[in-house]
């Protein structure tokens, strides 16, 4: 599937972090969509075309993993990248079982997050 202007859903309860990532990815050709929590992310995925989801692990209402599990029920192939400031083996294993594309530890570097996003887009959509 060829994607020319991919939609990137950035889900994090930290508004500054969401807006920073928006400023990074929009100049690269991404249509960014921002969500403050997992429930908002699920509503967006069910109502709009989304190509890739960035999910923070620790958010109010639904964690990143809970959101990921619910996403998997309806959109199996949607690539997701999980971010966590409190990464441990249990989270990594649960993310693997939920078929997450990548898990990144916060604080994340610009190179790490852009690299993971580009790799997910290349593998999933053959995006340049």
Read off the pLDDT of residues 75-88 as tens digits, 9 standing for 90 and up.
667 999 999 999 99
Which tokens in the block code for residue 49?
Answer: 């075309």
Q: Kindly give the residue spans of alpha helices, DSSP state H, lying in the chain.
A: 15-25, 38-47, 64-74, 89-97, 110-125
Every domain of the chain and the residues it spans: 7-125
Measured CA to CA, the distance from residue 94 to residue 21 in angstroms comes to: 25
Q: Residue 78: its pLDDT value, please?
A: 92
| Rounded alpha-carbon distances, angstroms, from residue 30 to 5, 24, 88, 91 | 6, 9, 30, 28
| Rounded alpha-carbon distances, angstroms, from residue 11 to 1, 2, 91, 126 | 24, 24, 17, 24
CB 54 within 8 A of CB 117: yes
Task: Tell me whether the omega of the peptide bond preceding residue 68 falls within 30 degrees of 0, making it cis.
Answer: no
Q: 100-121: per-residue pLDDT in tens?
A: 999 999 999 999 999 999 999 9
CATH 3.40.50.2300 fits 7-125, yes or no: yes
Which residues neighbour 120 within 8 Å (Cβ) at sequence distance 6 or greater? 52, 79, 81, 101, 102
Q: Residue 103: its pLDDT value, please?
A: 97
């Amino acid at each position: 599937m060829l994607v020319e202007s991919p939609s990137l859903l950035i889900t994090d309860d930290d508004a500054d972090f969401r807006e920073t990532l928006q400023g990074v990815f929009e100049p690269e050709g991404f249509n960014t969509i921002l969500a403050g929590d997992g429930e908002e992310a699920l509503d967006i995925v069910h109502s709009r075309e989304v190509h890739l989801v960035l999910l923070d692990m620790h958010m109010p209402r639904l964690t990143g993993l809970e959101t990921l599990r619910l996403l998997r029920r309806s959109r199996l192939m949607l690539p997701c990248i999980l971010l966590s400031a409190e990464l441990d083996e249990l989270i990594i294993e649960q993310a693997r079982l939920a078929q997450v594309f990548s898990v990144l530890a916060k604080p994340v570097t610009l190179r790490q997050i852009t690299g993971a996003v580009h790799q997910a887009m290349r593998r999933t959509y053959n995006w340049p």
